[in-house]
Amino acid sequence: MKTFGAHLQEQIKETSYRFVYLWFDDPDDPDDPEATADDFITEGEKLGLKGYKVDVSGAYSELDSDGKRFIHGIDDDKGFLVDENTIVFVRAPITRKKSWMDLLTQLERGGVCCINNRLCMESTSDKYRTSLILAETGLNQPKTVLIHHQDRALDAFDRLGSKYPVILKTITGSLGVGVVKIESEESLSATTQLLYKLDPNMGVLLQDFIVAEYDVRAHVIAGKFYGAIKRPIVKKDFRSNVSLGSVPEILTLTKLEQDHVEKAAKAVDGLWVGVDFIPAKDREKDSPIFIEINSTPGTKGYKKATKKNIAKDILTIFKDRTNWLKTQPITSIYSEK
């Protein structure tokens, strides 16, 4: 039986390209980001694609004397050419620092295809912004309200119009960190005040609590549903993150669910995103309930559950240049210094 990758090779015209794998050496990330980076470099070599792995911490980009753009690691003066024949896989949490986001903007404005672009990264890093985008797209999700002030959490609860328990989330965060199940008024007030004490600039929101046995992580690549896993709720917890101990299983989505996750990915300009949702009771007829969209979805749990070679498949998919999404290059009367 032919593999998914073999079928892709038959369907896609062989088109070589260069790629950069922009990652971040985060010791708290259980997905082992460097191992995934190495997978991409290794699989790229097998496919005849030249790759370059660079840690975003210390990475920079500049033009050489001939006007060609290069990206450099912190200790690499030679660098790697990035041009119209290059894809940059953005696998680092660039929204943590303005300088990292500006590096991405440099590349985008130079006409380089970035997966994902800055708009997608910023939109999905803000859970409330994501909820607004999904609402405008007509996709189903838990009712969500912002807590505008640390002393007005109970007012926000009234606006939510729900019953306890509810979910309190920091607007930014990943791996299940910053998500709290709130059982009472006292807990809501105290937890909100504690979060603002830790970070006065923190954004916090409230959501309806949806009872579920599992949620779903669906990968959408180049606008098409690629594959999905179910993530059972962790024992003695209410979350389902693989990083917290959930053991994922491969899951076949309904046609409705596939259509909706593709719609969600398109709404945020995502070329490779993880779309998280809680399935409806009648999965064939009723819309799933979307939780969030991850612009740097982990691969460790997905690979273990599905046995797919996701690095090879992604690199193969983007041999088709119609899947590339680029910002138009900016021409200027001055030269970058």
Is residue 318 within 8 A of residue 224, CB to CB? The reply is no
**Residue 325 confidence (pLDDT) above 90:** no
Q: What is the pLDDT at residue 232?
A: 86
| Interval 67-76 mean pLDDT | 95
- Classify residue 334 by its DSSP letter: S
For residue 149, pLDDT over 60 is answered with yes
With contact defined as beta carbons under 8 Å apart, do 82 and 68 qualify?
no
200-257 residue pLDDT tens: 888 899 999 998 889 999 999 999 999 999 998 766 555 556 655 668 899 999 999 9
- What is the pLDDT confidence band of residue 329, given thresholds at 50, 70 and 90? low
What is residue 158's predicted lDDT score, i.e. its pLDDT?
95
**C-alpha angle 158/164/166, rounded to 5°?**
85
Greatest distance between any 2 Cα atoms in the chain:
64
Grouping H, G, I as helix, E, B as strand and the rest as coil, residue 139 is coil
In a 13 Å sphere around the CA of 279, the CA atoms on its Cβ side amount to 24
- pTM greater than 0.75 (yes/no): yes
Query: Measured between alpha carbons, how far is residue 294 from residues 57, 68, 72, 123, 291 in Å?
Result: 21, 32, 26, 10, 10
Tell me the domains of the chain and their CATH numbers. Answer: 4-116 (3.40.50), 144-208 (3.30.1490.20)
pLDDT digit string, tens, across residues 242-297: 655 668 899 999 999 999 999 999 999 999 999 999 999 999 999 999 999 999 99
